[in-house]
Chains A and B, each alone.
Chain A
Amino acid sequence: QKEVEQNSGPLSVPEGAIASLNCTYSDRGSQSFFWYRQYSGKSPELIMSIYSNGDKEDGRFTAQLNKASQYVSLLIRDSQPSDSATYLCAVNDFRDDKIIFGKGTRLHILP
């Protein structure tokens, strides 16, 4: 059974600080990794994708992947109150096609 694990939170971070969200996955064959943001009452929105080891930066967001440790993380720099949401980690391997989602981490940015 493929699994994606996240701390459910809530993770509280002061405005302007760095928020660090973590995710582990069980299937070593996984090849594609995604972070989705979901505001309360809304559908998930893709914010980052990463496919190779290392860091990928996009604005205030940095995704980090370590396949040896089966670990993927999302860093949010200069956190804003508008970043308060649930962040879903998702993992895919092309043998199966469908993406497996973690249950999400609730992030609360404190003004």
Chain B
Amino acid sequence: GAGVSQSPSNKVTEKGKDVELRCDPISGHTALYWYRQSLGQGLEFLIYFQGNSAPDKSGLPSDRFSAERTGGSVSTLTIQRTQQEDSAVYLCASSPPDLGGYTFGSGTRLTVV
């Protein structure tokens, strides 16, 4: 597609439920990143995929968070047993092989009630 596509755009879930967030990167972009942004805060790095290499999971805040990238394209971020502090906008970005800057998707706004 023309841009990075994320779905759903909004998600309201009950505390304790699992959620899955999807990211479809720009075609040909080998790198894919997940960030989250709480209200009025900066971007918090979560996880990074580059080609077929093992992902950099150093930013995942707890073992309730996991992500996978199938076929080097679409990625899914899963949050298990959601907590209220997980409420944030989850942003996906992709970049070309020369790492010349990211293109962000429009994000998924997650609200845990």
Q: How far is the CA of A49 from the CA of B96 in the complex (A)?
A: 14
The residue among B43, B91, B107 with the most chain A CB atoms within 10 A of its own CB is: B43
Name B residues whose Cβ lies closer than 8 Å to a Cβ of A: 31, 33, 35, 41-43, 45, 48, 50, 56, 89, 91, 99-107
Which of B41, B48, B106 is within 8 Å of A97, CB to CB? B48
Chain A residues closer than 8 Å to B100, beta-carbon distance: 32, 49
Contact A44 B33 (CB under 8 A): no
Q: Which of A43, A98, A103, A104 contacts B104 (CB 8 A)?
A: A43
* Residues in B neighbouring A75, C-beta threshold 8 A: none
Closest to B53 in A: A97
Smallest CB separation, B94 vs chain A (Å): 12
Residue in chain B with minimal CB distance to A4:
B42
* Partner of B31 from A44, A97, A101 at Cβ < 8 Å: A97
List, in ascending order, chain B residues with CB within 8 A of A101's CB: 35, 42-43, 45
- Cβ contacts under 8 Å, A92 to chain B: 99
Are A49 and B48 in contact, with the CB atoms below 8 A?
Answer: no
Q: What number of A residues sit within 8 Å (CB to CB) of B?
A: 20
Is A88 at the interface (CB under 8 A from chain B)? Answer: yes
A43: chain B residues within 8 A (beta carbon): 89, 91, 104-107
Contact with B along A74-111 (1 / 0, CB 8 A): 00000000000000101010100111111110000000
B104/A45 in contact, CB under 8 A: yes
A90 to B106, CA, bound (A): 19
A46 on the interface (CB 8 Å rule)? Answer: yes
A90 neighbours in B (Cβ, 8 Å): 101
